[in-house]
Amino acid sequence: MLRFLTAGESHGRALVVVVEGLPAGLPITAEEIASELARRRLGFGRGPRMRFEQDELVILAGIRHGLTLGSPVAVEIANSEWERKWTEEMSPAPGRATQPLTRPRPGHADLAGMQKYDFVDARNVLERASARETAARVAAGALAKALLRHLGIEILSHVIQLGPVTAQGARPGPGDLERVDASPLRCFDPAAEAEMIAAIEAAQRDGDSLGGVVEVLAYGVPVGLGSHVHWDRKLDGLLGQALLSIQAVKGVEIGEGFDVARRRGSEAHDAITWDGEAGTYVRQTTRAGGIEGGMSTGELIVARAAMKPLATLNRPTLQTVDTATKAETVSFKERTDVTAVPAMGVVAETMTALVLANEVTRKFGGDSLGELERNVAGYREQVRLATERVVDVAAGGEPLNWDEREAFPEPGS
């Protein structure tokens, strides 16, 4: 199974991520990881830090001559302001903060974190709660995505709502990621995008922030990732946890999640039909988001994540209390983004890729990429044959049209 850990504070020396459980022999370069990190910095409405933060990365371990070794992969991403601004304030050496933050921002981790960890300075909380940490996740996601690509699985995301503006029209398909990324808001609907830009500019003028919704799509996922057999193995539950763990995400929807709750049962599901020519079951709709009973159905996986407007405002108006004096005041001002929804889409792709790669390695195992690929190809073939099989149920499931028994050798043969 694939697991990962991140460490690092937003204005500390660096972020570090360790990814364990990748098979050996996966081709990956620092440039590929860097280009995923660059995608995360895209997006109209991001703050000034994104213009100079270059995410300089160093592969510390686990990759040799462009291939994974099967050992933990460790990646370091430097914070480019560290040397210039933060060596004192964020020093690991004994000392004290020169400017403790005592006006916690409503909606941020500040106050609950100060109370929970017994801190006087909100910086001790916000440095780690900051979405800067997602850069480390995206490095891990680049590895997961590379693995999934070898198995024919492609993940992409697009912004479907920004503030009050909702996108309409077609979904991006496989291979459309570049087109999505070419849009300044990572939105696939140009008319909606123009309105979204206007909404961001208006919020910016007011020193305010905007949230929104992204849709993550996973193409080529085989049937049967996740399981109905236990609550903590359900793929939708795993995706929900992973997406809700992204900073500022407050809602997750699988398929048409909240909308189907309004409909009758006859209009809430994806009818199953048989395509005799292709020899497959087909669902014309994606209301279930490609997951039924906690398992992938083999159809397109659709998940949406809703991000609240950022709690840091360029013109603070949110009421709070100074934790030192208990005087009522407004939350402290920080340099910030008007919106980070397009970047959150890249992080949502990352979390989806990490969940799917974990499920793939759990189901198919394999110490090398070749072994994993063979296991996946064998399973896909087994599903294909079993799907086409017409059986005599009364005779105990004997195949009627199927003479390919050698595809399922008897145990021990």
Binding stretches for ligand EPS (CB under 6 A): 10, 47, 49-50, 53, 130-132, 135, 312, 334-337
- Shortest Cβ 49–ligand EPS spacing (Å): 4
Considering the complex, state which of residue 219 and residue 332 has its C-beta at the smaller distance from ligand EPS. Answer: 332
Do 370 and 210 form a contact (C-beta atoms < 8 A)? no
Considering the complex, state which of residue 103 and residue 132 has its C-beta at the smaller distance from ligand EPS. Answer: 132
Three-class SS string for the chain? CCEEEEECCCCCCEEEEEEECCCECCECCHHHHHHHHHHHCCCCCCCCHHHHCCCCEEEEECEECCEECCCCEEEEEECCCHHHHHCCCCCCCCCCCCCCCCCCCCCCCHHHHHHHHCCCCCHHHHHHHCHHHHHHHHHHHHHHHHHHHHCCCEEEEEEEEECCEECCCCCCCCCCHHHHHHCCCCCCCHHHHHHHHHHHHHHHHCCCCCCEEEEEEEECCCCCCCCCCCHHHCHHHHHHHHHHCCCCEEEEEECCHHHHCCCCHHHCCCCEEEECCCCEEEECCCCCCCEECCEECCCCEEEEEEECCCCCCCCCCCEEECCCCCCEEECCCCCCCCCCHHHHHHHHHHHHHHHHHHHHHHHHCCCEHHHHHHHHHHHHHHHHHHHHCCEEHHHCCEECCCCCHHHCCCCCC
Considering the complex, state which of residue 55 and residue 299 has its C-beta at the smaller distance from ligand EPS. Answer: 55
- Shortest Cβ 31–ligand EPS spacing (Å): 19
Considering the complex, state which of residue 101 and residue 218 has its C-beta at the smaller distance from ligand EPS. Answer: 101
- Shortest Cβ 100–ligand EPS spacing (Å): 16
- Shortest Cβ 378–ligand EPS spacing (Å): 41
- Shortest Cβ 349–ligand EPS spacing (Å): 15
Considering the complex, state which of residue 38 and residue 383 has its C-beta at the smaller distance from ligand EPS. Answer: 38
Considering the complex, state which of residue 193 and residue 337 has its C-beta at the smaller distance from ligand EPS. Answer: 337
Considering the complex, state which of residue 47 and residue 70 has its C-beta at the smaller distance from ligand EPS. Answer: 47
Six-digit token string for 232: 């903590």
Considering the complex, state which of residue 12 and residue 294 has its C-beta at the smaller distance from ligand EPS. Answer: 12
Do 369 and 26 form a contact (C-beta atoms < 8 A)? yes
- Report the distance separating Cα 75 and Cα 139, nearest Å: 7
- Shortest Cβ 195–ligand EPS spacing (Å): 25
Considering the complex, state which of residue 10 and residue 296 has its C-beta at the smaller distance from ligand EPS. Answer: 10
- Shortest Cβ 135–ligand EPS spacing (Å): 5
- Shortest Cβ 346–ligand EPS spacing (Å): 10
